[in-house]
Amino acid sequence: MTENENKEAWPRFRRFFAGLYFAIAVGIVVIFWREIFYLNPATDSYNWYRYLWCVSASFIGFAVLAIQLRDRETRDPRLPYCLYYPTLLLVIAGIVFSATHLFKPSRGYVFYYLAASVCFILAFTVDRFWSYVDLLARKVQAKS
């Protein structure tokens, strides 16, 4: 495969993975919608189906990111898109799920809005997360 053919093939893979992640996210919500969106929130226990809500929001955020990355990079995306990113997205979802259950007000219906937005944003910025942390640290250091 020549370098020119290689550059044309990778955007198709990225679109495929973006579609795959989006389909998984929608499939999770469609299959488990009754368990995720229950009417009476349990205040004393975790609802593990809500973790799937966080996973779905993370996958949708990453799908949007993958669509945007399709023209930027030319390296083979298969390995990171199959192993590295899913692991990070599951960790992001787990952290957000746990953090939103620490506070009593976010255990109710606020959970859906809070968890979805935070998971989406963290998944969308997963590639540049450490550069954002570094930038924030430099700004804080410059002010002091």
Q: Is the pLDDT of residue 2 over 60?
A: no
Domain span at residue 66? Answer: 3-143
DSSP state of 104: G
Where do we find the tokens 């954002």?
Answer: 132
Q: Is the pLDDT of residue 33 over 60?
A: yes
Q: Tens of pLDDT along 50-106?
A: 888 889 999 999 888 887 765 555 566 666 777 788 888 899 999 998 888 777 666
Nearest in space to 27 (alpha carbons), one of 55, 64, 50: 55
Into how many domains does the chain fold?
1
131-141 burial code (b ≥16 CB/10 A, e <16): eeeeeeeeeee
Where do we find the tokens 């804080």?
Answer: 140
Specify the pTM.
0.71
